[in-house]
Amino acid sequence: MSAERRLLQRQLGIAWALMDHHLERLGDDDLHWAPADHHWAVRRVGDLWVPDFADVEPTPVPVPTAAWVTWHVGWWWSTALAHLTGARVPAREDAHWPGDAASTTDWLRSLHTEWSRALAGADTMDDASAYPWPVEGGFTMGDMCAWVIVELTKNAAELGQLLMIRAAAGDEGGP
């Protein structure tokens, strides 16, 4: 195994530990709590949960709920996994948020397991990557794998911040 892949796996372990720490504490009533009126959520539409989304990020950026943050992780990680393994890349609309804390935690842990396996077996680190940037940028699969770690760390921090603010506010309500 290359030194690059060992480094990616070690860093993934650190980022994942941060995310899993918050997932262990995530409750159903945390998911839809919004700390601001201007927020992005995941809303029930029929049998599905549909995330708020805009192709061009609005200004100011809406504050995400924990449900939205966890959907977002599931979406981008599923997409990165497909790029790494050569599988069909799912449409954003195909990233279905499970709807409760236990199922969401299981979904994200499953993605972590799949990603870890794919990363361990990847032999394409120098190949061009079209995700999350255009191929013309000259980025590689190794760049994408490093980005996954940065994005996971950022999303873990966002989730943790939401949980801490909610606990500090003593807010048991939600939208």
CATH number for the domain harbouring residue 121: 1.20.120
Residue 122 predicted with pLDDT over 50: yes
Domain limits at 7?
Answer: 3-52+62-169
Helix 66-85 crosses helix 101-121 at what angle (to 10 degrees)? 20
CB atoms within 10 A of CB 127: 14
pLDDT at 23: 98
Query: Is 174 a domain residue?
Result: no
Query: Is 57 a domain residue?
Result: no
Structure tokens at 144: 């994408």
pLDDT at 134: 74
Mean of the per-residue pLDDT values of the chain: 93
Residue-wise pLDDT tens digits, 36-87: 999 999 999 999 999 999 999 999 999 999 999 999 999 999 999 999 999 9
pLDDT at 11: 97
Q: Match 């939600």 to its residue by tokens.
A: 174
Query: How many separate domains does the chain show?
Result: 1
Provide the CB-side half-sphere exposure for 47 (13 A, CA).
Answer: 0
pLDDT at 135: 66
Higher pLDDT, 142 or 2: 142
Query: Is 175 a domain residue?
Result: no
Assign residue 99 a region (left: φ > 0; alpha: ψ between -120 and 50; beta: otherwise): left
Reduced to 3 states (helix: H, G, I; strand: E, B; else coil), residue 97 is: coil
